[in-house]
Structure 1
Amino acid sequence: MSIAERLVTEPLAIPRPATTAPFARIDTFDKALTAPGGYGARLRACRTAALDFKREFAVGGRPDSVRTHDLISLPYPTRYGLFRAAISPTPFVTISNRMLIVRWTDSDGTKRTLLFEPSDHELDSYTPYFAELQRYTPGPLRNLFVTAHTDVLSACRAAGVDPAEVDYLAFDHLHTQDVRRWLGTTRPQADISPERAVSAAFPNAKLLAQREELEAMADLHPFQRPWYQPGTFVDLPPEKILPLDGSVLLGPGVALISTPGHAMGNQSLVLNTDSGIWAISENAIATECLTPEHSKIPGLSGSTRSWGHEVVLNANTIETTYEQYNSLVIEKTIVDVSQQDSRFLQFFPSSELTGALLNPGTSPTFTHRAIRHG
Structure 2
Amino acid sequence: MLHLLIICTCFIVIATLLPLSRHSHWIVRALDFPRLQIAIIAAALLIANLTLLDIQLPITKGAIAATAFCLIWQLWWILPYTILCRKEVKSATNNNPNKQLSILTSNVLTPNRNSDALIQLVRKHKPDILVTLESDQWWEDKLNVLEAEMPYSVKCPLDNLYGMHLYSRLPIEEQEISFLVEKDVPSIHACLVLKTGDKIRVHFVHPAPPSPTENTESAERDAELVIIAKSIGESVSKDINKSDLPIIVTGDLNDVAWSSTTRLFRKISGLLDPRVGRGMYNTFHADYPFLRWPLDHLFHSQHFTLHSIQRLPSIGSDHFPLLTRLVFSPIRGANQHGLQPDADDRERSKNIAQAQEVSMDDVPRPAD
Larger Rg: 2
TM-score (norm 1): 0.34
More strand per residue: 1
More helix per residue: 2
Could you say which structure has the greater relative contact order, defined with CA pairs below 8 angstroms and 6 or more residues apart? 1
